[in-house]
Structure 1
Amino acid sequence: MALSTNAKDWLTVAIFIVLFFYYFEYLQPFQRQFRLDDSTLQHPFAKVERVTDNELYLYCSLVPTVVIGVVQFLRTKLCGPVSGGASENWSLSATNRALLGLWVSVVAAACVTDVLKVWIARPRPDFLERCGAVAGTPLHTYVSTEVCTAPLGQMYVADGMKSTPLGHLSMAFAGLFYLTLWLGRHGRFPKASALTTFIVRTLPSLLAAYIAFSRTQDYRHHFFDVLLGLTIGILFAWGCYVKYHGVSN
C-alpha cells in the first residue's frame, strides 16, 4: 500500500484532533437535575489525579506509536524478509498502516465519547463538592446547577456533569487494546519465549485497565462508566484493526 493512499485518512485524523481539543472538549452538557442526598455524588474531589489528561494522551497514542515504530524496525532488521519480500518500502507501508489504524481508533473514540458525555450528562461521584450548593437547598428535592456556588470554578461544575462514559478508558483501550491486537499478529520474534511474547502482548491492555480503575479510585467515575467506556474503546480498536489489517486475531 503506497503511503499516499492514506493521505485523506491522515488529514481526517488531523482535523478531528483539532476538533477534539478545540470543540468537543468544550461542549456544554445537558443540565440534568440531581439531589443533594444522593450518596453516589457525595465523594470527595481529588485534587491530585492518578492519571491526568496529559498522561492519558501519552499512554493511549504516543506510547503505542513508539512501540509500533520500534517493533517494525526490529522486525525488519532482525527477522529479514517477511512473506517473500520485506523491504524498506514494505516496512514504511506497514508502519504507516499500523499507525493510521491506531490514530483513527483513538481520535474516533475520543470524539464519540465527548458527544455521549454531554448527551447523557450524568453527574460525577464528586459532583456535590464541585457544585457547593447554597445553604438551605432542599436535600430530598431534585435541583439544577442553578443552586451551585461553584467553589472550584464554573468549569468544574460543567465537567462534573460529564461522567458517562469514562473517556480515559475509551481512549486508553482504543489505543492500547489496538496495540495488543497488533502485537498479536505483528509482534512475533523467533527467539522470544512464549511467556515473554504473552506478557508483551498483554501489558498494553493491563495498562488500560489500570487507567480505568484509577478513575474510580479518584472518584471521577461510576462503575457503569467503566463498562460503557470499555465497550467503546474495544469496538473502535477492533474495528480499526480489522479495517487497516484486513483480519482480526
Structure 2
Amino acid sequence: MHPFATQERVTDNQLYILSTLIPMIVISILSLYLAPTNFDKLHLLQVSNLGLLFGVSAVSVLTDILKCWIGNPRPDFIDRCGPKEGTPLNVLFSISDQICTSPYGAKYLSDGMKSTPSGHSSMAFAGLVYLSLWLIGQFKLINRQNELDNKLVFLIIVCLPILLASYIGLSRTQDYRHHFFDVCFGSGLGIVFAVVSYFKYFRTLSDSKCNEPIDY
C-alpha cells in the first residue's frame, strides 16, 4: 500500500549506463593501457567485455523469466491498481476481476506484479561486481607477488563499484518498487552471474597470470 513513485532514484536508462556502459568504458580504456602489445590489448579488451556482456545479459533474461513466473506484487501495487470505491477489504481478487481503475495505465498495473526478483539489483551486481573482479585481477591485488605500493588503498578503490551496486539495489526499496527480499534475491543472482562469467574467461585472482585471459 505504498505510494507509486513517479521519480525514481535510479531510472532504467541510468541503470544501463551504470551497470554496463561505464564498466565497458573503464575496461576498454585500461585494457589498451595495461596489456603489453597491440594484439594483447585488443584480445584483453574483447574477452573482458565479452564476459561483462554475457553476465549482464544472462542475468537479465533469467530475472525477467522469474518475475513473470513468481508474479509477486510490488510494494506500491494497491496504488497502481486504484481499486474501485466500495471494493470489499476482506475478499481476495485477481486483476481479471476488473476492480482496478489503473490510474497510471495498464502497463504499470501489469508491471506491478513483477516484484521478485529486483532487475535493477541483478543487473547492477552482475556488471559492477564483474568490474571489481576484473580490476582486482588486472592489478593483481590478491597475488602475493604483487609489490604495488598502497595495495590496501587500491583494493578499497576497486571495491567501490560494489558499493554503487548496493546503493542501486537499496534505492529500489526507497522508491517502493521492491521488497527487501527482492533486492537480496536479485543481488545474489547478479553476484553469481558476475563470478561465473568472470572466471569463465580469467584465472583465479591468486594466480600469477590472473590478468591474462584463459587460453582455450
TM-score in terms of structure 2 length: 0.88
Q: Which has the higher helix share?
A: 1
> What is residue 71 of structure 1 aligned with on the other side?
30
> What is residue 240 of structure 1 aligned with on the other side?
197
Q: 1:171 aligns with which of 111, 123, 143?
A: 123
> What is residue 182 of structure 2 aligned with on the other side?
225
The alignment of Structure 1 onto Structure 2 pairs a total of residues equal to 199
> What is residue 99 of structure 1 aligned with on the other side?
49
Distance in 2 (CA, whole Å) between partners of 1:176 and 1:116 is 22
Q: Report if aligned partners of 1:44, 1:129 keep a CA contact under 8 Å in 2.
A: yes
* Cα drift, residue 245 of structure 1: 1.2
Aligned CA-pair RMSD: 1.5
TM-score in terms of structure 1 length: 0.76
Name stretches of at least 5 consecutive residues in structure 2 with no aligned partner. 142-146, 207-216
Match of 1:88, as an amino acid? N
Match of 1:160, as an amino acid? G
Distance in 2 (CA, whole Å) between partners of 1:120 and 1:127 is 15
Residue deviations 1:38-88, cap 9 Å, x none? xxxx00111100000000000110010011112222324xxxxxxxxx311
Name stretches of at least 5 consecutive residues in structure 1 with no aligned partner. 1-41, 77-85
Q: Report if aligned partners of 1:131, 1:151 keep a CA contact under 8 Å in 2.
A: yes
Residue deviations 1:154-197, cap 9 Å, x none? 00000101100000000001100011111111135976522431
Match of 2:56, as an amino acid? V
Q: Report if aligned partners of 2:87, 2:99 keep a CA contact under 8 Å in 1.
A: yes
Q: Report if aligned partners of 1:163, 1:220 keep a CA contact under 8 Å in 2.
A: yes
Distance in 2 (CA, whole Å) between partners of 1:47 and 1:127 is 14
Distance in 1 (CA, whole Å) between partners of 2:60 and 2:149 is 35
* Cα drift, residue 248 of structure 1: 5.2
Distance in 1 (CA, whole Å) between partners of 2:53 and 2:82 is 39
Counterparts in 2 of 1:196 and 1:230: CA distance versus 1, 3 Å: same
Asked if residue 58 in structure 1 is aligned to residue 17 in structure 2, the reply is yes
* Cα drift, residue 222 of structure 1: 0.2
Distance in 2 (CA, whole Å) between partners of 1:219 and 1:192 is 44
Match of 2:178, as an amino acid? H
> What is residue 37 of structure 2 aligned with on the other side?
87
Counterparts in 2 of 1:131 and 1:233: CA distance versus 1, 3 Å: same
Overall identity of the aligned pairs, in %? 49
Distance in 2 (CA, whole Å) between partners of 1:213 and 1:128 is 21
| 1:60-209 alignment, distance < 5 Å | 60-76=19-35, 86-145=36-95, 146-187=98-139, 193-209=150-166
SS in 1 for 2:137: helix
